[in-house]
A = this chain, B = another copy of it.
Amino acid sequence: MTNAEDQPTAELTILQLLAGTVLDANQNITFQIFDILRDLIVSVRLRPGQRLSEKEIAAALCTSKTPVREAMIRLDEIKLVRIVPQSGTYVTKISVSRYRTACFIRLQLELGAVRGAALTPDPHQSIAVLDGILSQTAKAIAQEDDAAFCTLDDAFHRQLFIMAGFKDAWSTARRTQFDVNRVRHIRRMQRIITGPAQLADHQAIVDAIRAQDGARAEDALRAHIGDLDRQISALVRDDKMRGFIALEDSI
């Protein structure tokens, strides 16, 4: 583990982050804890590499270790934490190899989605939905509303999968994309604005789908995703990511 001083921003203790959180005793405790921790990790409020203590979390949430541990097991299973026997439980670092794999998976699935969307038999209504999302996105960018932008970005991609007839494919594959989301969150925290460029890319994709031109839609998507290897080396070189990433998926 690196020192807190080495990190770009101050490391918040889990205790600070959970302060004031109360659980609903009538709902399943394990899943409440799971949701809380997953959100904290994906939004990088819990830092990659940070150590988590089952006991400490249990105390902060006024519960016993068992549900905390069971939530940790689920988080370990989706590789958001790594439980190291007799040592501790750590928030996983962002794995470059996992990130690269996730980008490949994302690209391939979205290629299928835009291809399918371009073949939608009666596309008018579906395309109207896409147009609506894009115009709302433009508003969100103008108002610098990050949260809305993210939601709309998500809605855009989901709509493509719906049009292709594979509504569930994206929600299934999202489980492989946590590291991509963490990188995005870090970029966004550092006010790295890519909104306008993304909007233009999305517009090009919609135009191709409107023209029912699957090949052009695929090309537009490839352009949108960009060159993976260059993106990877930029990620590895990025000083702001230092301490957050690991080449392989250790810790």
List, in ascending order, chain B residues with CB within 8 A of A193's CB: none
* Bound complex: CA A85 to CA B166 (Å): 30
In the complex, are the beta carbons of B172 and A85 less than 8 A apart?
A: no
A137-174 contact mask (Cβ, 8 Å, vs B): 1 or 0? 00000000000000000000000000000101100110
List, in ascending order, chain B residues with CB within 8 A of A112's CB: 104, 107-108, 111
In the complex, are the beta carbons of B173 and A85 less than 8 A apart?
A: no
Q: Which positions 102-126 of chain A face chain B at CB distance < 8 Å?
A: 102, 104-105, 107-109, 111-112
- Across the interface, A166 reaches (CB within 8 A) one of B70, B74, B104, B166, namely B104
In the complex, are the beta carbons of B105 and A169 less than 8 A apart?
A: yes
Q: How large is the interface on A (under 10, 10 to 19, 20 to 34, 35 or more residues)?
A: 20 to 34
Q: Which positions 82-110 of chain A face chain B at CB distance < 8 Å?
A: 85, 97-98, 100-102, 104-105, 107-109
In the complex, are the beta carbons of B101 and A166 less than 8 A apart?
A: yes
Q: Is A78 an interface residue (CB 8 A)?
A: yes
Q: Is A203 an interface residue (CB 8 A)?
A: no
* Bound complex: CA A93 to CA B28 (Å): 24
Q: Is A44 an interface residue (CB 8 A)?
A: no
Q: Which positions 157-211 of chain A face chain B at CB distance < 8 Å?
A: 166, 168-169, 172-173, 175-176
How near does chain B come to A178, taking the closest CB pair, in angstroms?
12
- Across the interface, A97 reaches (CB within 8 A) one of B74, B105, B168, namely B168
- Across the interface, A98 reaches (CB within 8 A) one of B105, B111, B168, B176, namely B168
* Bound complex: CA A73 to CA B97 (Å): 27
Q: Is A77 an interface residue (CB 8 A)?
A: yes
* A74 to chain B: closest residue by CB: B77
In the complex, are the beta carbons of B173 and A105 less than 8 A apart?
A: yes
List, in ascending order, chain B residues with CB within 8 A of A173's CB: 105, 176
A interface residue numbers (CB < 8 A to B):
28, 70, 73-74, 77-78, 85, 97-98, 100-102, 104-105, 107-109, 111-112, 166, 168-169, 172-173, 175-176
Q: Can you name 13 A-B pairs with beta carbons within 8 Å?
A: A73-B73, A73-B74, A74-B77, A98-B168, A100-B166, A101-B168, A101-B172, A102-B172, A105-B172, A108-B108, A108-B109, A108-B111, A175-B175
